[in-house]
Structure 1
Amino acid sequence: MRFTTNKTFRNPIMASGADPWMYRHSDGCYYFMVTCGDRLDLHRSPSMSGVALSPKTTIWLPPEEGPGSRDLWAPEIHFIQGKWYVYFTASDGSGDAGRKIYVLENESDDPTKGIWTEKGAVNVALPGLDGTVLEHGGNLYFMYAGYGHFPDYGSAIYASLMENPWTLTGPEVLLTKPEYEWEKQGGMAINEGPCFLVRNGKVFLIYSASTTWSDDYSLGMLVADEGSDLLDPKSWTKSERPVFAKCTETGIYAPGHNSFTQSPDGLEDWIVYHAIPKSEGGMELRQPRMQKFSWTAEGYPDFGKPVPSDTECPVPSGE
């Protein structure tokens, strides 16, 4: 994190890190995680712009071998029914076939303290990654990117109801698979990294498309009416074009795998995402970034373009 004054910040907010997840809790703190590969680290900060410099706690170390021991990716922290949960992807070292989504639980008020208990792997039908949850309409939904033996794509996003934060109940339904050329860049056809915005009477499912190492990694969007059946694929309308993509003018490539949060005063919406600062830079150069976004007159999110590196940006309102 590179501060200029107490009124501005610069992207990237960390020198490196993929799959950034930032969560604003009712205690006034922001909780932040990125992929570390061999552990799970949790940052806790009173501000968004200072989150990368905030103290971090290693909350989980994997077993030395076996299921869940390798490739700890895409951790997300959620507060559900009065407890903290972290969802993360891990494998047994055998590649995609051994990849599962695991769940940790913590009953402490402060998730950097207390005991994290593993609840096991979510009982999904397919090997997969990027598990996330949505509490909506009295239901708890789980969505993830599932791998299958598909002839024309690598992963697609599936959804199911949950009976508790680590167990699915009922069937899984396919919500989106790669269909357009912009979802098939980098050598594989990919839909992954689902997350949500609920606003203006609608549920927006934002997902990442194409390979994460491709310049053309980008964000797609599905939208459903707030009161519709979110497990009915017919409830969702898919955008034919990416809603957030590379910008050669600003020199930012492969923006994706994002989360959403709000400013401390709750008046601004922010997208937190990773991107690569040069063309063909590769996935090792992914960096976490954040920027404010707006809404269209029709009530849809408008993410704009990725802001250039080292641009002085106003800190979120209320800091």
Structure 2
Amino acid sequence: MVFGQVVIGPPGSGKTTYCNGMSQFLNLIGRKVAVINLDPANDSLPYECAINIEDLIKLSDVMNEHSLGPNGGLVYCMDYLEKNIDWLESKLKPLLKDHYLLFDFPGQVELFFLHSNARNVMNKLIKKLDLRLTAVHLIDAHLCCDPGKYISALLLSLSTMLHLELPHINVLSKIDLIESYGKLAFNLDFYTDVEDLSYLQNHLDQDPRSAKYRKLTKELCNVIEDFNLVNFSTLDIQDKGSVGNLVKLIDKSNGYIFSSIDSSAVEFSKISAGPLDWDYYRYPLFVFMLIKLLVWYSISDYIF
């Protein structure tokens, strides 16, 4: 059984930066990581790429050959990847023994709440290769500064969750920059918990541009609240504690914490204590490591 993440989100939300930072963090705590670039438009990768879709198809070639724009070209590339899924499977098989997988997808949001190609690709890989994947959906934190954009982000997150049908974690990325974007109308908890959007609706009514859409806004907020599925974690990719908290959530969602109790205990001990000596954490008794892991996960929600 192989574990990993499907990294998605709108353009500019920080997916490639996330994959780079997450791979470094996971390597630091002892996991062997393979990053799979499935974005045929991403020609400047900051990380070492184990598999690159450009070895199969390039967006520039598709646009030139079929006279397509960037959006149509990306849809074509995902369709081509689905039809040539054997290529990706053959590339992945050597990594399945001991690697943790990060799939870096394109930023075209239609691929994840409208078209079925990306979903079909992941479903086929999950069934054939016995993968346990969590979708990590990145949303730029600056959208919280505009109530209309924030509601759009909520709708996008909800529709993506329903469409992909994977364990799913929504993340407000670049949270360290949120103060530079402008003053928030409410505390950050309001935007992460998504509990009562009526306050946000009242704030929107004060904007003359949004007043005429009052009824539509109310209905959209009702849809989001009726499903009651969307909330957000926060992420500063430069902060070890922030990345560590997110890794714990992802590990819970895809079941990684149950795959190797011994290694998990060591990993999250490293997160809590900073730079560590590996030998210090090789305890002689397995029982002690099991207890340590259980205690850690039982109190993590209170100390972070």
User: TM-score, length-normalised on structure 2?
Assistant: 0.29
Higher relative contact order (CA 8 A, sep 6+): 2
Name the larger-Rg structure: 2
* Structure whose residues are more often helix by fraction: 2
